[in-house]
Copies of this chain bind each other. A is one copy, B any other.
Amino acid sequence: MADFAGFEPLNAKTLPQRLGQLPALLDTAGGPAENWQVREVGDGNLNLVFIVEGSAGTVIVKQALPYVRLVGDSWPLPLKRSFFEHKALTRQEERDPGSVPRILHFDGEQAIIVMEFLTPHVILRRAFIDGRQMPRASRDLGLFLARTLFRGSDLAMPPRERKEELAVFADNVELCDITENLVFSDPYFDAKLNRHTSPELDGIVAQLRADRDVKVEAQVMKHLFANKNETLLHGDLHTGSVMVTETETRVIDPEFAFYGPMAFDVGVLLSNFWMSYFSQSGHGERGAMQAYLLNGVDEIWTTFRAEFSRLWRGERNGILYQRTLFEDQGDHLGSEQALSRVLAEIWTDALGFAGCEMHRRILGLAHNADFETIDDSAVRARCETKALKLGRQLLVGRRHIHSVSEVNDLAEQLEKEIVR
């Protein structure tokens, strides 16, 4: 999977010339291509994204660039991440049908994925910043987590297939490297790419970086992230990777996909709900929105547990916790005892990952719009401080926190203590 010498970035002018003959595009957008309206709208950190509007409809054209867009060509990043994104989207569609955008065309050499234009969907993070409650998101995300994580693992897959997928995604080295550094290491020392809302946060930042337990536990989480190759993860499941309407939820951008611990996707997602919770007071009077978000965490986890348990009972056909030893011996409780253990471990680890995600989004390179869109830096700093503190508690105390409501209570206490 080398990068290709013939790679050319698209632009609004060349796109119709280059892609205008593809039946998949012409069918959906409608011809002729020279009449297409093309806008580049990529606001992420890595890629080009075009909206292509034709006479019959609209499509999205996503193209990877050979470097990190946020940083520039001083940070090269292989085009093959497009291959991993495409493969992950395909797997996610198999495992949770309807959960991702429909793929219309894939070109590995040009790192181009053409997909369904989602409308009237909005980015979930944007909705939260605007104070909009999206009624389906939490439930759908709980289902997405359970189905993709369970069905990509040794709980469900034939071992040869799972090991082959593990090997394929083990090549997504550079994207894993980003997470390994930006999430688990950089935030905990004075790394070059770090930045934070200054100077109001200097105190707590210094405190966290001097906190031995925080550093050790963050490294324990990194150890898990890098070495527990349990299932195919989305790899970057924050609220910016989710598009929603009132009735529908789609998960996008799985270019960080690789075989890692189930708890990572769970923890990152919950973390972004809690961060949104702490950001709300920076955007206005948001009592109802805050309650919605804490309730959302509860709904994600409850749905995840229920769906994971359903799959455990009905689709556990892999090599782990085989029926042969439990149900086939009439020992249903044995299988339930094992299920409790597995879920408890996912929960504990998810809290650790959630803590790291909170820290890195405030102290590291890539920040969250939830906080960034708060103009007053003193207000923003107070919101971020709460998240940093909760993050520390989750990371270091995770083994002794047993329910969502304990975390939500902690969040509410922090919200009261550190007032606007």
- A residues with a Cβ closer than 8 A to B are 153-154, 159-160, 163-164, 166-168, 170-171, 173, 176-177, 180-181, 185, 188-189, 191, 209, 212-213, 215-216, 218-220, 222-223, 226-230, 319-322, 324-326, 328-329, 331, 333-334, 337-338, 341-342
Task: Please give, as numbers and ranges, the residues of chain B lying within 8 Å of A185 by CB-CB distance.
Answer: 319, 322, 324-325
With a cutoff of 8 Å between Cβ atoms, the chain B residues found around residue A191 in the complex are 324
Contact A180 B159 (CB under 8 A): yes
Is there an interface contact between B228 and A228, defined as CB atoms closer than 8 Å?
A: yes
Tell me, in angstroms, the Cα distance from A160 to B176 when the chains sit together: 10
B177 touches A159 (CB 8 A): yes
Q: Are B216 and A338 in contact (CB under 8 A)?
A: yes
Residues from chain B with Cβ under 8 Å of A159 in the complex = 173, 176-177, 180, 226
Asked whether A219 lies within 8 Å of B325 as measured between CB atoms, the reply is yes
* CB nearest neighbor in B for A318: B226
Q: Which residue of B is nearest A190, CB measured? A: B329
CB nearest neighbor in B for A335 = B216
User: From residue A199, how far is it (CB to closest CB) to chain B in Å?
Assistant: 21
Task: Say yes or no: A325 contacts B180, CB within 8 Å.
Answer: no
Other-chain contact of A160, B173, B218, B220, B328 (Cβ < 8 Å): B173
A223 touches B170 (CB 8 A): no
Q: How far is the CB of A205 from chain B (nearest CB, A)?
A: 14
Closest beta carbon of chain B to A153's beta carbon, Å: 8
Known A-B contacts A220-B338, A227-B228; the reply to A215 vs B170 at CB < 8 A is: no
Q: Given A159-B177, A173-B163, A325-B189, decide whether A331 and B212 contact each other with a Cβ distance below 8 A.
A: yes
Using known A-B contacts A185-B322, A325-B215, determine if residue A167 contacts B171 with beta carbons closer than 8 Å: yes
The 3 closest A-B pairs by CB, nearest first: A167-B167, A167-B170, A227-B230
Bound Cα distance A188, B322 (Å): 11
User: Which B residues are CB-close (under 8 A) to A219?
Assistant: 320-322, 325, 338
Residues of B close to A167: CB separation below 8 A: 166-168, 170-171
**Residues from chain B with Cβ under 8 Å of A168 in the complex:** 167
Which residues on B sit within 8 Å (CB–CB) of A229? 166, 227-229
The minimal Cβ–Cβ distance linking A9 to chain B, given in whole angstroms, is: 26
Which of chain B's residues have a CB closer than 8 A to the CB of A163? 170-171, 173, 176
Assess the B223–A320 pair: CB atoms within 8 A: yes
Given A215-B331, A329-B189, A338-B219, the answer on whether A319 and B180 have CB atoms closer than 8 Å is yes
Distance between Cα atoms of A98 and B334 in the complex (Å)? 46
User: Shortest CB–CB separation between residue A356 and chain B, in angstroms?
Assistant: 13
Nearest-neighbour CB distance to chain B for A175, whole angstroms, equals 11
A341 / chain B contacts, CB cutoff of 8 Å: 216, 220
Please, which residue of chain B has its CB at the minimum distance from the CB of A340? B216
Residues A215 and B334 in contact in the complex (CB < 8 Å), given A154-B226, A222-B319, A319-B180: yes
Closest to A153 in B: B227
Q: How far is the CA of A170 from the CA of B325 in the complex (A)?
A: 26
Excluding A159-B177, A167-B167, A170-B170, 4 further A-B contacts by CB distance (< 8 Å) are A163-B170, A163-B173, A215-B334, A219-B338
- A263 CB to nearest B CB, Å: 12
Tell me if A154 and B326 are in contact (CB < 8 A).
Answer: no
- Evaluate contact between B216 and A337: CB separation under 8 angstroms: yes
Identify which of A191, A226, A331, A337 gathers the most chain B CB atoms within 10 Å of its CB.
A226
Write out the residue numbers on chain B whose beta carbons fall within 8 Å of the beta carbon of A227.
153-154, 228-230
A167 to B259, CA, bound (A): 11
| A215, A227, A321, A334 pick with most chain B CB within 10 angstroms | A227
**When chains A and B are docked, how far (Å) is the Cα of A284 from the Cα of B180?**
56
Q: Provide the bound-state CA to CA distance between A325 and B191, in Å.
A: 10
Which residue in chain B gives the minimum CB-CB distance to A333?
A: B212
Shortest C-beta distance, A331 to chain B (Å), equals 6
CB distance from A39 to the nearest CB of B (A): 37
Q: How far, in Å, is A173 (CB) from chain B's closest CB? A: 5
Q: How far is the CA of A333 from the CA of B210 in the complex (A)?
A: 12
